[in-house]
Amino acid sequence: MSKLLELIDKTRLPQHVAVIMDGNGRWAKKHGKPRVFGHRSGVQSVRDASEIAAEMGIKYLTLYAFSTENWNRPPLEVSALMSLLVETIGSETKTMMKNNIRLQAIGDLSKLPKRSQQKLAEAIEKTSKNSRMTLTLALSYSSRWEITEAIKKISRDVLGNTLMLEEITQELVDSYLETADIPDPELVIRTSGEKRISNYLLWQIAYSEFYFTDKFWPEFNKDEFCKAIIEYQSRERRFGKTSEQLKV
């Protein structure tokens, strides 16, 4: 890992990296294990990604941990995932404190079991003063749900005469989203070889770079994270301009 870190330009880091953690179940099946074994093994990859991102100097890391669509999975798997969430938050809070990492969560958190909500709230409160990096878990989250909720809030404010139609701008929409206090991600990583967005941060990733890897999430270690950043730094971010304009 040290050699890969040396290849990274610390002055050109993405401020925000978003990750679609995919492939836990397939990795478990490949090893002849139940799907829950894959989810449990993926916890180490969460720890690796968080630690190496903070070490590099990345300020925001957002992990797609559980989508609204995931509620449709077999009840036994959903129950095991919720139990693992409680267990992981409890065990990793100490690590986040040690690494000065602040925890946040986005999504329809009211759908989580009460025990999960409680543990999550406790960890968020305990780490709230940490400032090295913000780790955001997208839980019971989908981008269409988020945008729909934002439209409802904006509509209420317009109907309540606290907001004028003329005041609705892209910046105002940003402020009504779950990610209001987080900059848009410059880089989105997806593991397991799949190449789709899966209803994740659709508004926020308008100008994100994408990095796809065939590695399953439990295989995505610190070296793999470094490779994603190196690949990101090899790209030219033009935002609609030409290469020549960027050189001026």
Q: Which domains does the chain have, with CATH numbers?
A: 2-142+185-232 (3.40.1180.10)
Out of 9, 24, 70, 157, the active site residue is 70
Q: How far apart are CA 50 and CA 70, in angstroms?
A: 23
pLDDT score, position 186: 98
pLDDT digits (tens, 9 = 90+) for 35-69: 999 999 999 999 999 999 999 999 999 999 999 99
Nearest to 83 by CA among 123, 104, 49, 112: 112
Relative to beta strand 187-190, strand 133-141 is unpaired
Helix axes 114-126, 75-98, angle to 10 degrees: 10
Residue 48 among the catalytic residues? no
pLDDT digits (tens, 9 = 90+) for 90-127: 999 999 999 999 999 999 999 999 999 999 999 999 99
Cα of 55 vs its chain's centroid, Å: 17
Q: With a cut of 70, say whether residue 246 has pLDDT above it.
A: no
pLDDT score, position 21: 98
What does pTM read for this prediction? 0.93
pLDDT digits (tens, 9 = 90+) for 67-85: 999 999 999 999 999 999 9
Answer whether 220's CB lies under 8 Å from 48's CB.
yes
State the residue for tokens 């300020």.
Answer: 59
Q: With a cut of 70, say whether residue 240 has pLDDT above it.
A: no
State the residue for tokens 């139990």.
Answer: 83
Q: How far apart are CA 237 and CA 163, in angstroms?
A: 35
Long-range contact set of residues 147-150: C-beta below 8 Å, sequence gap at least 24: 147/177, 147/202, 147/203, 150/176, 150/177
Cα of 16 vs its chain's centroid, Å: 9
Terminal alpha carbon distance of the chain = 36
pLDDT digits (tens, 9 = 90+) for 4-38: 998 999 999 999 999 999 999 999 999 999 999 99
Beta bridge partners of 189: 19, 211
Q: Which two tokens stand for residue 139?
A: 């839980």
Q: Which stretches of 80-132 are assigned E, i.e. beta strand?
A: 101-106
Query: What mean pLDDT do residues 155-174 have?
Result: 97
CA distances from 71 to 98, 103, 224 (A): 33, 23, 29
Phi-psi region of 201 (alpha: psi -120 to 50; beta: other; left: phi over 0): left
| CA–CA–CA angle 203, 81, 144 (5° rounding) | 20
Nearest to 226 by CA among 89, 32, 51, 104: 51
Query: What mean pLDDT do residues 145-161 have?
Result: 98
Whole-number average pLDDT of the chain: 94
Q: How far apart are CA 105 and CA 195, in angstroms?
A: 25
Residue 130 among the catalytic residues? no
Out of 22, 24, 99, 130, the active site residue is 22
